[in-house]
Amino acid sequence: MTDYDVIVLGAGGAGYTAAFETSRGGMKVLMLDPKFVLGGNCLYEGCIPSKTYWLGASFIEKSKKLPFLNAKVSFEKLVEWKDLVQENRFIQHNQEVKEHENVTFLGKEGVMLDANHVKVEDRTYSTKYVVIATGADPFVPKGFEDGITTHELLMPKTKIRNVPEKFGIVGGGYIGVEISSMFAKFGSKVTLFASHLLNVSQEIQDLLERRLKENGVEIVKERAIGVKKTEDGRKKVITEKGERTFDEVLVATGRRPNVKGVNGVVPLGKKGEVEVTHGMATTTENIFAPGDINGRFMLFHVAVLEGWVTAQNILEGGREVVEMDYHAVPFAVYSDPQVAWTGMWREDAIKAGFEVEVRRFDLSKDSRAQIEGEAEGWIDVIIEKGSQRILGAQIVGQDADMLIGELSLAVGQRMTTYEMARLSQPHPTQLEDITSLMRKAMIVKRG
């Protein structure tokens, strides 16, 4: 007889979802996480605190665009608000644990001994299934150790409670782009070291680069090779062509799967990830690995869905009856302006053999965007000619993060423009623009 039906390593989105869902199915579950809080890095040092800062920065931006608004944002008070939001969510999650009687949650690290045994300090537990959901951590290249990561910047009760006067940021991914924009608006003199911005179209890259520069961000396209502390406690970024000194330097050079607890029990892929099937199964029959640990899409909302898929398959006796469908994953970057996308880009669709058309709505023509002073941006929809199936979409502008959800659903359900055209959207919202695009060029035969 085993101690538990399921042992879950990690309490992030993938981990706690798998734990709660299997417990609802009557299984006895042990969930382990040394942080002893739910939410993973997203809540502890990622999406939730960064978007709280983004909210503060957005008020500053709104004040520039709307003549009747004169917003002042106290960064010190904003940090306190960020801490409060994190604490409230920790409390909320703790209540969720109590609502699942079959789940035991320990603030300790688990290390796999084999496919059926996990060691926790000096005790070993047996289990039928193991769910590896230990997520990913910021990747700091050799020579960059003197910089900070999002851990120090965004963690609860962070020591960074004032805006650095001169702030260096290394990396042009979503973290580097978002933080650069926010802290420039807070008054920091930001220098971003990045050869390019995001993996998006050149058109969007050019727009983001222009807007960052308008907000006072200096973009240096030299390759950074290290970060070093100076004698006076400041930090210098060393590039191939020289060096620059800052009050603080954020290293935003990507994330790597946290495989410490795996302990060699399952093989790792080329990038250090735990390889899985679309049903989240590893090469070992009773071991599953949802979330950032598998390196597929390091996004919280994807991790949650992967955790749910994992639970369904465990409840089915380890059979892969449910699989992930990644072709309609929604991405949202809280840059200025926001950028979001789902499904295929035009180039991807053509490369895949589709004959496509691209329909665009210019947000300068949208009534809600005009009301809110956010009339810059567009909505692109990628459509297969003939079938009129929606293959993908990209949105640039306010509320892109919300709007992409409807288009992601359309892509995921293989909907056509005709099916979307029949929807009635609330007015005045940008959702109407999506429907307008679906009705554009539609020919109705009569008689």
Q: Using an 8 Å Cβ cutoff, are 174 and 182 in contact?
A: no
**Mean pLDDT calculated for residue range 297-323:** 97
Q: What is the band of 443 on the pLDDT scale with cuts at 50, 70, 90? A: low
**Mean pLDDT calculated for residue range 178-190:** 98
Which residue is it, tokens 């039928």?
A: 128
Q: Using an 8 Å Cβ cutoff, are 22 and 314 in contact?
A: yes
Q: Give me the domains of the chain, ranges plus CATH numbers.
A: 4-138+256-324 (3.50.50.60), 150-253 (3.50.50.60), 328-439 (3.30.390.30)
Burial of 101 (0-12, 13-18, 19+ CB in 10 A): exposed
User: 95-107, pLDDT tens digit by residue?
Assistant: 999 999 999 999 9
Does residue 382 carry a pLDDT above 80? yes
Does residue 441 carry a pLDDT above 80? no
| DSSP-derived secondary structure for 431-443 | HHHHHHHHHTT--
pLDDT number for residue 442: 61
Q: How far is CA 351 from CA 46, 296, 338, 393, in A?
A: 34, 21, 27, 16
**Mean pLDDT calculated for residue range 158-173:** 98
pLDDT number for residue 1: 81
Q: Using an 8 Å Cβ cutoff, are 239 and 220 in contact?
A: yes
**Mean pLDDT calculated for residue range 12-16:** 98
**Mean pLDDT calculated for residue range 288-304:** 97
Could you give the percent of the chain with pLDDT greater than 90? Answer: 98
Does residue 446 carry a pLDDT above 70? no
Instruction: Report the mean per-residue pLDDT for the chain.
Output: 96
Does residue 380 carry a pLDDT above 90? yes
pLDDT number for residue 447: 46
Q: What is this structure's pTM?
A: 0.95
User: 246-286, pLDDT tens digit by residue?
Assistant: 999 999 999 999 999 999 999 999 999 999 999 999 999 99
